[in-house]
Amino acid sequence: MMEFYSLNEIKELFKSYSPSLECPITEEEHEQFCEAIKQLPKEIVDIVNKEIYFILMSSNPSSLNAACYIDIERGIPKEKKGIVIVTPIIFGYKPGLFSPGIEYILHEIAHHILGHYKYDSQTDIIEKEKTATNLASKWIAESFLRNNN
């Protein structure tokens, strides 16, 4: 049986993305981000936490960042293998399990988990997009079933 982290455990694991000068998002946006990660099994969360660096761009007009600079040498830990940029559009969606924002975040994580880093053709792109969408949908469906049983 798969194990899952609680929302509080996710918030602790991803506390470096809490609202700050380096990460100008709101508490609500941090909660949305953590809620998306919470849908994943523990083993996937552990991979995500170890290998992916997230750039979270707020949709809050008072902290909206139109552009972002990160010093690769000092800003991104060397052990990270991928970067996911969460744009203001994602945080503009209404929070909730079936929010497109959650699906978009999980879709990008799925690309990493599935090893989608190179595309050979337009057909390959289409196939990998479908595969990532299917995996994200699977995670959401499993989360819904888990929370409603």
pLDDT 10s digits, 51-76: 999 988 888 777 666 667 677 777 78
* Greater model confidence, 134 or 98: 134
pLDDT digits (tens, 9 = 90+) for 82-128: 989 888 888 888 777 677 888 999 999 999 999 998 999 999 999 99
Residue 97: predicted pLDDT: 66
Beta bridge partners of 129: none
Its pTM surpasses 0.75 = yes
Residue 110: predicted pLDDT: 96
Residue 64: predicted pLDDT: 64
Residue 147: predicted pLDDT: 80
Place of tokens 């057909």: 123
DSSP 95: P
pLDDT digits (tens, 9 = 90+) for 32-43: 999 999 999 999
Residue type, 85: I
Residue 69: predicted pLDDT: 67
Q: What is the dihedral of CA 74, 40, 33, 46, to 10 degrees?
A: -20
Domain assignments of the chain as residue spans, ordered by start: 7-147
Q: CA-based angle 90:95:96, to the nearest 5?
A: 120
Share of the chain above pLDDT 70, in %: 93
Helices and strands (H, E) in the chain, number of each type? 7, 2
CB within 8 A of 145, min separation 6: which ones? none
Residue 48: predicted pLDDT: 97
Residue 23: predicted pLDDT: 73
Share of the chain above pLDDT 90, in %: 52
